[in-house]
Structure 1
Amino acid sequence: MTNKEVVASDDGVANKWYIIYPQYINTNLSLYKGRRLAKTECVTDPKSTEIKDVLESLNCFQVVCDLNKVYSREVDKELIQNRGYVKYALIRNKQTEEVIVGNKFDDKKKVLEYVAKMIPKLKTRTKVNTQQSGSQQSQQSQSQTNKKNKKKK
């Protein structure tokens, strides 16, 4: 299935499928390597599963995640940590009509901006950040005590 393939939904309105690769919102990449947004709006090393979680939480997208695919601009395709892509289509029904009428997700760029804002708020990201900051603080305190001990000798 391609990203422009049309699928009919339950109420007869046709939906297009769009694809999001994690490289589209990665701050560590340049525009040439595939980043689509400004660095200030992007996230460091997003994963396709995180993008999937954000889109599924809205309940107005039909989401499919494929972890075996690789972005075409990747140089070393065997050692990639952020593999895969997320394919999504907007579901048009009575429950999601408010979101659609508000023009919140008119185009792919608005969806990318929303995903980039919401990924840092995921529980998996906050747990990782607190563990890293805790280990960094303990390393800093150890290095400070080592410096003090060296001065005393």
Structure 2
Amino acid sequence: MDAEVADIKKWVVIYPVYLNSKKTIAEGRRISVSKACENPNCVEIGDCCNHLKIPYAIEIDKAYPRDFMQRGRVRVKLRREDGTFYNPAISSRKQLMLHVAELVPRHPGRTKKQEPASTSSTAGPSKSGKGGKKKR
């Protein structure tokens, strides 16, 4: 168990603030606003790592030092034990952040969240693709 914990400490850390387009560089954003996404969370970042076939671990009890109200971070393992990359397209922390920020807006949980809350719960997932509000 101790070897596994020591190994996880060497993994790359990604805080959601690094990818948040609503934050400034002084507040902790690490990539350009044009490539960043709006308010990502740890679960979405973890799911994107899973999609990229990279091992990850979510640490909910940790906070970002500059904004300690921002809870959670994701640890990601970029390399295997033999030194090869899990995903050859991602060879650095910066490339990982850019790929994840690109995938987060297309996250399935995110598309459901952005629907207006005023619709009734009886509508369900069988809603047609047309936009607009329902008339009562």
Which category describes the TM-score, using the shorter chain as reference length?
A: 0.7 to 0.9
Contact 1:17 1:89 in 2 (8 A): yes
Question: 1:96-111 alignment to 2 at 5 Å?
Answer: 99-100=87-88, 104-111=89-96
Contact 2:78 2:85 in 1 (8 A): no
- State TM-score, norm by structure 1: 0.66
SS of equivalent to 2:24: coil
Which one of the candidate residues 62, 66, 70 is aligned to 1:73?
Answer: 66
Instruction: Tell whether 2:75 aligns with 1:87.
Output: yes
Q: After superposition, what is the alpha-carbon deviation per residue over 1:91-143, rounded to whole angstroms, capped at 9, x for unaligned?
A: 538xx86832xxx21110000000000001111111122x13976x549x89x
Residue type of the partner of 1:42?
A: A
Contact 1:6 1:17 in 2 (8 A): no
C-alpha deviation, 1:63, in angstroms: 0.7
C-alpha deviation, 1:65, in angstroms: 0.4
Query: Which residue of structure 2 lines up, in the alignment, with residue 33 of structure 1?
Result: 27
Larger radius of gyration: 1
Query: Which residue of structure 1 lines up, in the alignment, with residue 48 of structure 2?
Result: 54
Which one of the candidate residues 111, 116, 120 is aligned to 2:101?
Answer: 116
Question: 1:7-18 alignment to 2 at 5 Å?
Answer: 7=7, 16-18=10-12
Ranges in structure 1 where 5+ consecutive residues have no aligned partner: 8-15, 143-153
Of all paired residues, the percent bearing the same amino acid is: 27
Contact 2:12 2:78 in 1 (8 A): no
- How many residues align? The count is 120
RMSD: 3.2
Which one of the candidate residues 37, 48, 56 is aligned to 1:63?
Answer: 56
Q: Distance in 2 between matches of 1:22 and 1:91?
A: 21
C-alpha deviation, 1:83, in angstroms: 1.6
Q: Which has the higher helix share?
A: 1
- Change in Cα spacing, 1:133 to 1:39, as seen in structure 2 (3 Å) is farther
Residue type of the partner of 2:111?
A: T
